[in-house]
Structures are given as structure tokens and as C-alpha cells.
Structure 1
Amino acid sequence: MEKHDIKTDAGLFRTMEERHSVKSYQTGVTIPDTEIRSMIEMATEAPSSWNLQHWKFLVVDDEEQKEKLHRIAYGQNQVKECSVVIAVLGDTKANEHADRIFQEAVDKGLITEAVKEKIVNGINGAYNGSETFPRDEAFLNASLAAMQLMLSARGLGYDTCPMGGFDREAFVEEFNVPERYVPVMLLTVGVRAEEPRISSRLSVDEAMVRNTF
């Protein structure tokens, strides 16, 4: 099946098509802090359950820290070559933001105090009523932000690679990650040193089911 090409000339579609996982970066490239902040700002525009924003971003650009991370990531050279590594963490206690977030809605006249209390109680009930729910939500919502971060990086002319291959326990210990956060993935960010290998994709017909199996 031929690739669907409607609107592929639009900016967002072009950015999405240009995003590929890059594992070889130009060394010595510094990304301005303003651009790193812009990437993360766009990442925080991602949707999240109850708008709890279950993410935290640990930016690693110090060479000594990258060397430490290189060992934790089983010696993958992209960690040392890239300009910055952004660790995407999921917040298993994101429900603690609920009161403040929904109080803002009350202050703006969008909901009543009674509605706010009902929502917050429901959120806390969901978090306190399951051992797996908080972790599942942390991974789900932080992953949405990670994808948005990769697209924002590409929009600024940088490349990325999501990495799940690292020692999570060692990462938590070495980088003093608070207990509430779980490491979801590492994102290497920088300027590609060579064109990435374009991987094949299943067709839309193979990926999509309409209405029911």
C-alpha cells in the first residue's frame, strides 16, 4: 500500500516524518539552554490524566555526569557523543498535584469548590486503591511528554533517540532520584553525525482495525 500523502507538506507532518532515532552525534555541539527549555516547555504541553502532569525531566549535560550515565547505559556511545541526555521520569505521586491544579479551576470560576472536592477525592481514591495504577499512570503520561519532547527537538533542528536500555536501579541510585519518580526512558539529543538508518514500518492496513476485531 502506498504511503498516504494528504497534508504531508504541512509543518507538523514534515517534522514527524523527519524524526528518526539517531545513534551517532556530532561531538562538541552545545545546545543553548534557551532551546533546551523550549523543548521541555513544549513537552509539558502534552496531555495527561486529570491534567496531573506526571513527568519530571532530568537534564544531563555535564561531562562527568554523562560519563557516569554512559556506564549505566551499558556503554552506548550515543550517551557520550550527544549534546545532552534528558531522562524522562514518571511521577507515581502525581495525585499530590490535584488539589492545587483544580483549585486554579475554582479560582477561575470554571468549577465549584464542591466539584473540585469530588474530583480530587476520586483521584486520590484511584491512587490509593491500587498498587499498580500509580506506576502505570506514571509511564503512560510521561511517555506522552517524551514523544512531544522528541518532536519539539526535531522542530528546532536536533535529533533524538529514546533509550530503554539502561540500569534503572543504578540510575536511581547514582542520580539521587527521589522515590516517587520512576525512570521511563533516556532521550539523547544532539546534531546527527550521519544520516540515520530509516527503519521499515508496517502498513496502515496491518496496523489498523476498524470498529472491532
Structure 2
Amino acid sequence: MNTSETSLSVVIRERRSVRKYDPDFKISQEEILDILKEAALAPSSSNLQPWKFIVIQDEAAKKELRAIANNQEQVETSSAVIAVLADREMYRNGEKVYRSSFEAGYMDEATMGRMIDNTNKLYPSIPLEMRENIASFDAGLVSMQLMLIAKARGYDTVPMGGFNRQQLIDRFQIDERYMPVLLLSLGKAAVPGHKTTRIPIEELVEFI
């Protein structure tokens, strides 16, 4: 096992859901952007990157958000709360994504054109529920990557699904194109997260 594999294993093993944060510890917008930039390297269907992030740091806004999120303390005491949104209309990203790949030299112009055309034909014809499932799955991938990157930098997180989605949409004026998937508290732990156990993997794996 090389050093990078060892480091990743340590990060995975040490990451825990933290609900008690140091309210005086702040993470800069610049570093949060850097964390999100790395997280957004996560894979996604057709590389359409169907996600958007609202980073909530304002103290008054966090107080309002706490009420929306079932009064969970970490919403108000963490350095930031990141609302992860899934893009129901991810196909609208196609031209930007594939043109960027063409300009970077990762595909030729004919391939770019074909990818754009295929995306614009396929995705709008997919039923909305299926597009929502695709976008939610990809939003989960970017969220997990975000949590591991944060831990590697010495920060702590907890993903939260317990919040009123309609109230979040109304308060932060979220366009109907986007679907709230989860809230993610980011900060410095005041109390370590609880250790947990896992079902033995042998019970959950079948080799064929």
C-alpha cells in the first residue's frame, strides 16, 4: 500500500458525523470554494455535473435555517452550511461542459458536436422522475467527496436530510430547476463525533 492509499484510508476511517461545533471557528469563503472545486471533480452521468451549492455563513440566515432544519444545533454553530441542490435540467449544462472539454483538447470538435446533440435529444425526453433520480444520485457522489476532502483538510461535517424542503426553497428563492438534496454542516468539531459500527461486509457481499 502506497502513502496516498494510506492517507485516504485514514481519512475514511477518521471521518465521523459531527454535531457539536466550535461556533467561533470560521472557514474562509476562499477555502470553501477550494473544497467545492475539488469535490466537483466527482463523476456524474454524462459528465453533466447536475449540482449547485448554496453556502450559508451569515449568522442571521443560519439562525433562520436552524428553524427550517428541525432545530438542529449544528446548523447554527458550524462555520457554514452547504445546501446541495440537484439539477433536474442537467442537459442545459451540456454545451458548456463539452465545449470546455473541446477547448482543453480532451475531445475533437466533431465529438463535441455529437455529444451536445445527443444530450439535447436524450435528456429532455427522459421522464422527470428519472432525471431527478439521476441528479440526486450524482449529488450524493459530490457530497461524499466534499466530506472526505473537508476531513483531509482537518474539518468536520455532518450530512442532514431532516429539513423542510419547501421552506428552504422559499427562504433562499431556489429556482424550480433545482431540487434540495441535503444540508451539510462544515466546521471544526468541539466534541468528536460518535464512533459507530458497521454490518460485517461478509454479510452484504456476494461473489459470483
The verdict on a shared fold, with TM-score over 0.5 as the criterion, is yes
1:171 counterpart residue number? 168
- Tell me, which stretches of 5 or more residues in structure 2 are unaligned? none
2:69 counterpart residue number? 73
Q: Write the deviation string for residues 119-162 of structure 1: whole angstroms up to 9, x where unpaired.
A: 22332333222222221121011111101110111011111000
Matches within 5 A, 1:1-213: 10-107=6-103, 110-129=106-125, 130-211=127-208
Give the structure-2-normalised TM-score.
0.91
CA distance in 2, matches of 1:44, 1:66: 24
Tell me if structure 2 keeps the 8 A contact 1:8–1:14: no
CA distance in 1, matches of 2:116, 2:78: 41
More helix by share: 2
Q: Write the deviation string for residues 15-45 of structure 1: whole angstroms up to 9, x where unpaired.
A: 1111110111111111122321221111111
SS of residue matched to 2:128? coil
How many residues end up aligned between the 2 structures?
207
Q: Write the deviation string for residues 44-75 of structure 1: whole angstroms up to 9, x where unpaired.
A: 11111111111111100000100110010011
Give the structure-1-normalised TM-score.
0.89
Task: Give % identity.
Answer: 35
The aligned amino acid for 1:153 is: A
The aligned amino acid for 1:36 is: I
CA distance in 2, matches of 1:189, 1:146: 12
Cα RMSD of the aligned pairs, angstroms, is: 2.1
- Tell me, which stretches of 5 or more residues in structure 1 are unaligned? none
Instruction: Check 1:20–1:111 CA distance in 2 against 1; reply closer, same or farther (3 A cut).
Output: same
